[in-house]
Amino acid sequence: MKTLSSYLGWLVVALTAAGCVPFATPPARVSVGATSMWRLPQRDGVDVSHSSGATWRAGVHPLDVVMDPNARRWFDVGAGYQGETLRRAERDAPRSPSAHGPYLEIGAYPTLARFNERSRLRLGGFASGELLFREGASTGTGQTLGALLEFSHDVDGPFAGSGDDGGFVFGQALGKLSAGVFVNASFRQFREQNELGVSGGLSFRIPYSAGVACCAPIFGSSRNKGSVEVRSAPPAHRLVRTAPPARPNRVPARPRIRDQ
């Protein structure tokens, strides 16, 4: 007896062959920004070094799918992965100062202003703990405290859209769609040294969504608009002689003899 997974596998194959791709995204918060990091040496005689660059975070926030029309839920929790791209403090530094790793985050975002039943302005704070990895260095840990101001809109229902080329998408969404700004400060501990960082940038939330996206049909009897068919012409330097058309065989007519 075939299992449900086998049926789903055949369904995905059929949709892909037809030019359609199923998709699903979790409720998530993504942040990108700039960061500055100061390295605090743990022994005397070593100067403090500084580096700056870009930082990013992407995490799943499952509580965003809980609809809250009365704006009473402030608590938030998330888990994800973070990374950064930092310039070396010195050109001859032995390794890159950039670190990356998983994190756990908790936050509270009370409503600052409410525009309607679904849209509101929220201001709150978050705290997170990180496990950090760095090339050529020992594994470290970190703690982050930050503040977030965001415009949030609750999404709950189906969505659909189509393009001029015949492609279309449809599905279901549930959660929060938001955009905002954040600032945070972090402290990290490595065996070689400790670090103090400050970051700021943009934050976005996307809701849970699932659906199917189909591209324009590629095969078919009708041609796409704007398509151009190019045919190769015979080379100009080649002359092809053709034989004259054959004439049909004619039987000579016999002269008529008149009666005298």
pLDDT digits (tens, 9 = 90+) for 207-228: 999 988 887 554 444 444 443 3
Q: Phi/psi class of residue 71: alpha, beta or left (left: φ > 0; alpha: ψ in -120 to 50)? A: left
Q: What is the mean pLDDT of the segment spanning 236-257?
A: 57
Q: Which pLDDT value is given to residue 224?
A: 45
Categorize the per-residue pLDDT at 186 as very low, low, confident or very high, splitting at 50, 70 and 90: very high
Question: Which tops the pLDDT comparison, 97 or 52?
Answer: 52
227-to-163, 214, 221, 223 alpha-carbon distances in Å = 17, 20, 13, 7
Of the listed ranges 10-24, 69-83, 151-165, 228-242, the one predicted with least confidence? 228-242
Q: Higher pLDDT residue, 22 or 240? A: 22
pLDDT recorded at residue 228: 36
Neighbours of 59 (CB within 10 A): 21
60: left (phi over 0), alpha (psi -120 to 50) or beta: beta
Instruction: Give me the half-sphere count of Cα atoms (radius 13 Å) on the Cβ side of residue 64.
Output: 30
DSSP 7: H
CATH placement of domain 20-214: 2.40.160
Percent of the chain with pLDDT over 90: 41
The average pLDDT across 126-146 equals 91
Segments making up each domain of the chain, as ranges: 20-214
For 90-122, what is each residue's pLDDT tens digit? 665 545 678 899 999 999 999 889 898 889 999
Whether 174 shows a pLDDT value over 60: the answer reads yes
Looking at residue 163, what is its pLDDT?
76
Predicted local confidence at residue 200, as pLDDT: 97
Q: What's the pLDDT at 213? A: 86
Confidence of residue 232 (pLDDT cuts 50, 70, 90): very low
List, in sequence order, the alpha helices (H) in the chain: 4-17
The residue among 2 and 199 whose pLDDT is bigger is 199
Strands (E), the chain: 20-25, 28-41, 49-60, 75-86, 101-108, 111-114, 119-132, 140-162, 168-189, 193-206, 208-214
Return the SS3 of 12: helix
Whole-number pLDDT of residue 133 = 92
> pLDDT value at position 240?
52
Whole-number pLDDT of residue 164: 75
Which range, of 12-26, 118-132, 142-156, 216-230, averages the lowest pLDDT? Answer: 216-230
- Round the average pLDDT of the chain to a whole number and report it: 79
User: Which has more pLDDT, 199 or 249?
Assistant: 199
